Structure 1
Amino acid sequence: MSPKPAKPALPPHTAEENIAYIRQMLGELRTVAANEGADMLRYLIEMAYVEAGDIQSGQRPFSIRHNRDAATGMSLKATGKVKF
C-alpha cells in the first residue's frame, strides 16, 4: 500500500483575514437558508454574521475566554454527605 502524498501546507493567514472569510461564507449561507425558507437557521447564521462584523470593526474581542469572571473558574467540590 502506497503512502498518501502530504497535502501542501496552506499559506498562513492573519486572524483578520480568517474572520473576513468566515463573514463572507456566513453571508452566502444566510442567502441559501433564506431561499430555502429556513427562517430559524437564517436567523442564527445572521447572528454569527453580525458577530463577525463586530469583531472586524473592533466592537467585540476575538474571544471571551480572557474576559470571564474569576468566579467562573471555581471548581465545585462536594462538601460531604447531604443529610435530610
Structure 2
Amino acid sequence: MNPKPTKPALPPHTAEENIAYIRQMLGELRTVAHNEGADMLRYFIEMAYVEAGDILAGFRPVSLRNDRDAPAGMSLKPTGKVKL
C-alpha cells in the first residue's frame, strides 16, 4: 500500500503580511468598483483600505473586540419589583 504523498506545508504568514495582502486586494477591488461606477461600494472598500493601512502603521489595533465586549461596570441586579 502506497501512502498518499503529502503536500509540503506552506510557511505560516505573519499577521502583518496577511493585513498587507488584504490591503493590496482592497486596492485592486477599489479600482474595479470605480471603473464600474459603484460609488457606494468603492467608498466602503476605501474605508477598509484605509483601516488596513492604519493597522499596518500601528495607528489601530487589529481588533477592537476585547474593548467592545468589556462590561460597562454597571450593576445588572434588579432593583426590585416594578409596580404598575
Both structures adopt the same fold (TM-score exceeding 0.5): yes
TM bucket (normalised to shorter chain) is: 0.7 to 0.9
Structure with bigger gyration radius: 2
Count, aligned residues: 79
Matches within 5 A, 1:1-84: 9-68=9-68, 70-71=70-71
Q: TM-score, normalised by structure 2?
A: 0.73
Unaligned stretches of 5+ residues in structure 1: 77-81
Q: TM-score, normalised by structure 1?
A: 0.73
- Kindly state the Cα deviation for residue 83 of structure 1 after the two structures are TM-superposed: 8.3
Residues 11-67 of structure 1 show CA distances to partners (whole Å, capped at 9, x for unaligned) of: 210000000000000000000000000000000000000000000000000011121
- Classify 1:8/1:36 alpha carbon distance in 2 versus 1 (closer, same or farther; 3 Å): farther
- Kindly state the Cα deviation for residue 9 of structure 1 after the two structures are TM-superposed: 3.9
Q: Report the 3-state secondary structure (helix = DSSP H, G, I; strand = E; otherwise coil) of the residue aligned with 2:71.
A: helix
What is the identity percentage for the equivalent residue pairs of Structure 1 and Structure 2?
82
